[in-house]
Structure 1
Amino acid sequence: ELEKMRRDFVANVSHELRSPLSSIRGFLEAMEDGTIPTDEHEKYIEIVLDETRRMSGMVNDLLDIARIESGQYKLNLSVFDINDLIGRVLITFEARITAKHADVDAQLDYEPVFVEADRDRIGQVLHNLIDNAIKFMPENYGLLTIKSVVSKHKVYVSVCDNGPGIPKEDIAHIFDRFYKAEKAHTYKNGSGTGLGLSIVKLVIDQHHGEIKAESSENGTVFTFSLKQALPPPRRQPAAE
C-alpha cells in the first residue's frame, strides 16, 4: 500500500509538472521559429512567466508537505489576534477581489480574539482558503464571507464563497493531494495544483485543530478551529 501511494504520488507530480513544461516549451519554440509574431511576444512571455510561477508554487507546496509530514517543520508558537491576521491576509487579495467585482463580508469582532499558534502557518491556511474561495466565486456578483466565532474555549474561523459548490462525492476527498473536484476542472479560474487544501489540513492537524468543508449549490464553507488563548501579558513601560 505504501509503495502504491509513492508511485501514485510520483505519477501525479509528473503529470502536474508536464503540463506547464509542455506549454512553456511550445510557446518558446513558436516564438523562436516565428510561428508567434514578434509583436505578440510580450503576451506569450507573460503566459510563460505565469506557468513558471505555477510550477514554482507547486514545488514550494510539495516541499512544505514533505517538511510537515517528516516532522522537520517545528511550529513557532506565539499568542496573536486571529482577527488581525485575517484582516492582514485579506488586504493581500484586494486587487483580485476588485478585479472580480466581488464583495467581502468580514464578520469579525472589534475585540481581539487570541489563539496560540504558528502565525506564519495559520496565515498560509487563511491565504489558501481565501485563494480557493476567490477562484470559484462568480464574476461580477461574487461574495466572500469570513468570520470568527469563539465557543467553549475554541476559535472557529469560516471562509465561505458563493461559487458552484462541491459535489457530495468529492467532499470526502477534498483534502487529498492533487485531488480536484470535477467542477474545478470546468469552472472558470478553477485551476490549481490540488495541493493547497492538503497543506491546510496538515497545518491544522499539526495544531491539533479540526477542519471541515460543507457545500451546496450556493457555495462552499471551510471552517477550522484552534484553541483560544489568554491575551499576552502587557509590556511594562520602560522606567525613566
Structure 2
Amino acid sequence: MYMKKNKRISLIKYWTTRYLITLFIGLFIIAIISIYWIKQTKIEFNIERAQHLAGLIAERVPIYEDEIDIQLSFQKILARTIRENRLKSRPHVYIVNQKRKTLFQEPRDIPELPDDILTEVINGNQNDKKYKANPSQNQVDYLYFVKSTVTDPNTEEVLGYVIIGLSENEIVYWDQELRLVIVMIIGLALLGWAVIYFLSRRISQPIQNVAEAAKQIQQGNYNIQLFDKIEEKEVHDLVNSFKEMSHRLKQLEILRATLLAGVTHELKTPVASISGLIQAVRDEVVIGEEATEFMDISLSELNRLQLMINDLLDFNAFTAGSIKMKKEKIDLSAMIVEAATQWHVSQPSPTYTLDIQNASEPLYSDVDPLRIQQIIVNLLNNAKEALPEGTGHIAVNIRRDQQDTVLDIRDTGIGIPPEEQSFIFERFYRGNHKKHRIRGLGLGLSFSQLIAHAHHGELYLKESSKNGTIFTLTLPLSNDNRSK
C-alpha cells in the first residue's frame, strides 16, 4: 500500500505564514475598531459644529409675531455662517415658531419635517439619535437633528427654534480617512511580514547549515565548517555543540580505526607465534628439551590468547546485559583489603611497596564480590605497570564519604599524558607507553567502569601528573548502613 509521506515545510514558510495570518486577523480587528471610532468621532464632531451653527443662526434670526422677516441680508448671513463653520455639505436648516409651524427652510426643495419628528426633536435632548428621511423613496437616508432656541433678547420669551439636520451619509464622508486606514493596514502588514521574514531567515540559516553539516557527517565527512558568530544564545549553543560533537566524532572515528588495527595486531601476534613454534617442532627444527620448551611457550601464548578472547567475550556480554550479577551484602572495606593483599602476594618478587589504609568502620554494600575484585585487580595491575622499572609505591585508601564507600588507588608512576586522559575509558584504547611495553586489548578500564555503573557507582580518574596517578571508585552503601 502506498504510504504518503508527511510533507515538511521550511521554518521560514512555517513562521511567516502563521505570523501573517495572526497579523492580518489582528489588523482586521484594529481596522474595524478604527473605522467605528473614526465614524463616531466624525458624527460627534459634526453634530457639535452643527449645534454651534444653530446657536449662531438663532442669535440672528428675525422672528416677529410668529413670522420671520426674510430679508436678503439674513440669507447672506445664513450662507456666510454655514460657510464659516466649514460643514462639508449644505445642512437642512429649519426655523419654526413656538407653535411649531415651519417659517423657513433651506434648501427650499427639502420636505417639511413630520410632526412626530419635529415634536421629538424640540422636546428631546439627544443629538446622536438619527431619523429616517425620505421613506417613500428607494434610497433611504438618515438625518441627525440639533436644535437651538430663539428667544426675545428683552423678555427672554421663547419665539421659536432653529433646527439643523445633517445627513448621515454626508457627515461620515471619509474617503481620505478610509484611504489612510487602508494604507496604514497594508503598510503594517508588509512591514510585519518583512520583519518576521528577516528574523526567521536569520534564525533558520544556521539551523540549515547544521542540517547540511549533519548530512556530510552521515556521509563520513567530518571536516565541516560552521559560522559561529551568532548573537542568539540558543542558536549559538546549538552550533557550538554540533561543532564539538563533530570534532568528537572525528576523533572517535580515528580512534576506532587505530584501535581496530591494534586489536587485530594483539590477536594476530600470539597466533603467529604459536604457528611458528609448532611448525618448528613439527619439522624437527628443534628436538629434545628445546622442542619441549617451544611447546611450553606455545601453551603460554595460547593461554594468553584465550584470556584476551575471554575478556572480549565477557565485555561484549556485559555490554549486552546478558550477565547477571550475584549481589550480596558484604563488608566492602574488608573485601578490598583482602583482594589487595592477595594480589600483592601473588606478584613474583615485587620491587615496589604497597600501603593499605583501611576505613575506621565496617562499610557494608550490596555488591557482586567477584566483579568488585575484578575492578581492584585491574586498577592495581595498571598502577604496577605505570611504575618506572617496576619500582615505586602503591597506596590503597578506603574511606566513607556520606552515603558511599570510596576507594582511592594511588601510584608514583609516570602518569597519563593530558591528551590521553579523555580517552582512557574508551574500549580498546591503549596509551602510547603501553602499546610497546604491555600486551592486551585495552578493555580493562572500560570493563571496570561498566561494572561500577552496574553497581550504581562510579569509576573515574581523579588526577594524574608526572608524579603519579589516582583512580577513584565509589560504591553506594547498603540502606541500613547509610543511616548510621
Equivalent in 387, 411, 419 of residue 161 of structure 1: 411
Judging changes above 3 Å, is the alpha-carbon distance between structure 1 residues 69 and 107 closer, same or farther for their aligned structure 2 residues?
A: same
Instruction: Quote the Cα distance in structure 2 between the aligned partners of 1:196 and 1:78.
Output: 24
Instruction: Quote the Cα distance in structure 2 between the aligned partners of 1:140 and 1:174.
Output: 21
Q: How far did residue 34 of structure 1 move?
A: 4.2
SS at match of 2:271: helix
Equivalent in 173, 182, 199 of residue 447 of structure 2: 199
Judging changes above 3 Å, is the alpha-carbon distance between structure 1 residues 132 and 47 closer, same or farther for their aligned structure 2 residues?
A: farther
Mapped pair 1:92 → 2:342: yes
Judging changes above 3 Å, is the alpha-carbon distance between structure 1 residues 111 and 200 closer, same or farther for their aligned structure 2 residues?
A: same
Which residue in the other structure is 1:136 paired with? Answer: 386
Task: Considering fraction of residues, name the structure with more helix.
Answer: 2
Paired residues for 1:112-127 under 5 Å = 112-127=362-377
Which residue in the other structure is 1:24 paired with? Answer: 274
Judging changes above 3 Å, is the alpha-carbon distance between structure 1 residues 72 and 164 closer, same or farther for their aligned structure 2 residues?
A: same
- 1:56-90 Cα shifts (integer Å, max 9, x gaps): 11122122212222121222222111222122222
Judging changes above 3 Å, is the alpha-carbon distance between structure 1 residues 98 and 142 closer, same or farther for their aligned structure 2 residues?
A: farther
Instruction: Quote the Cα distance in structure 2 between the aligned partners of 1:142 and 1:220.
Output: 12
Judging changes above 3 Å, is the alpha-carbon distance between structure 1 residues 172 and 10 closer, same or farther for their aligned structure 2 residues?
A: closer
Structure 2 counterpart of 1:204, one-letter code: A
Mapped pair 1:60 → 2:345: no
Q: Is the 1:125–1:200 Cα contact (8 Å) retained in structure 2?
A: yes
Which residue in the other structure is 2:358 paired with? Answer: 108
Q: Is the 2:337–2:358 Cα contact (8 Å) retained in structure 1?
A: no
Kindly report the root-mean-square deviation, in angstroms, between the aligned alpha carbons of the 2 structures.
2.7
Which residue in the other structure is 2:456 paired with? Answer: 208
Equivalent in 209, 213, 224 of residue 473 of structure 2: 224
Mean alpha-carbon deviation: is it higher for 73-82 or for 30-39?
A: 30-39
Q: Larger relative contact order (C-alpha < 8 A, sep ≥ 6)?
A: 1
Q: How far did residue 127 of structure 1 move?
A: 1.5
Q: How far did residue 18 of structure 1 move?
A: 0.9
SS at match of 2:388: coil
TM-score by length of 2: 0.43
Structure 1 counterpart of 2:280, one-letter code: A
- 1:187-233 Cα shifts (integer Å, max 9, x gaps): 4xx332211111101111112211111311122221111112235xx
Q: How far did residue 112 of structure 1 move?
A: 1.7
Structure 2 counterpart of 1:133, one-letter code: A
SS at match of 1:80: strand
Q: Is the 1:101–1:141 Cα contact (8 Å) retained in structure 2?
A: yes
Instruction: Quote the Cα distance in structure 2 between the aligned partners of 1:68 and 1:38.
Output: 45
Q: How many residues align?
A: 228
Instruction: Quote the Cα distance in structure 2 between the aligned partners of 1:123 and 1:212.
Output: 17
Instruction: Quote the Cα distance in structure 2 between the aligned partners of 1:128 and 1:79.
Output: 22
Which residue in the other structure is 1:76 paired with? Answer: 326
Judging changes above 3 Å, is the alpha-carbon distance between structure 1 residues 135 and 10 closer, same or farther for their aligned structure 2 residues?
A: closer
Instruction: Quote the Cα distance in structure 1 between the aligned partners of 2:292 and 2:414.
Output: 34
Which residue in the other structure is 1:172 paired with? Answer: 422
Instruction: Quote the Cα distance in structure 1 between the aligned partners of 2:377 and 2:390.
Output: 22
Which residue in the other structure is 2:155 paired with? Answer: none
Instruction: Quote the Cα distance in structure 1 between the aligned partners of 2:272 and 2:395.
Output: 37
Greater Rg over alpha carbons, structure: 2
Q: Is the 2:266–2:440 Cα contact (8 Å) retained in structure 1?
A: no
Instruction: Quote the Cα distance in structure 1 between the aligned partners of 2:260 and 2:423.
Output: 19
SS at match of 1:83: helix
Structure 2 counterpart of 1:211, one-letter code: L
Gaps of 5+ in 2: 1-217, 219-251
TM-score by length of 1: 0.82
Which residue in the other structure is 2:295 paired with? Answer: 45
Amino-acid identity (%): 32
Q: How far did residue 120 of structure 1 move?
A: 1.6
Q: Is the 2:274–2:298 Cα contact (8 Å) retained in structure 1?
A: yes
Instruction: Quote the Cα distance in structure 2 between the aligned partners of 1:48 and 1:111.
Output: 48
Judging changes above 3 Å, is the alpha-carbon distance between structure 1 residues 186 and 58 closer, same or farther for their aligned structure 2 residues?
A: closer
SS at match of 1:85: helix
Mapped pair 1:146 → 2:361: no
Instruction: Quote the Cα distance in structure 1 between the aligned partners of 2:264 and 2:436.
Output: 22
Judging changes above 3 Å, is the alpha-carbon distance between structure 1 residues 92 and 28 closer, same or farther for their aligned structure 2 residues?
A: farther
Q: Is the 1:184–1:191 Cα contact (8 Å) retained in structure 2?
A: yes
SS at match of 2:423: coil
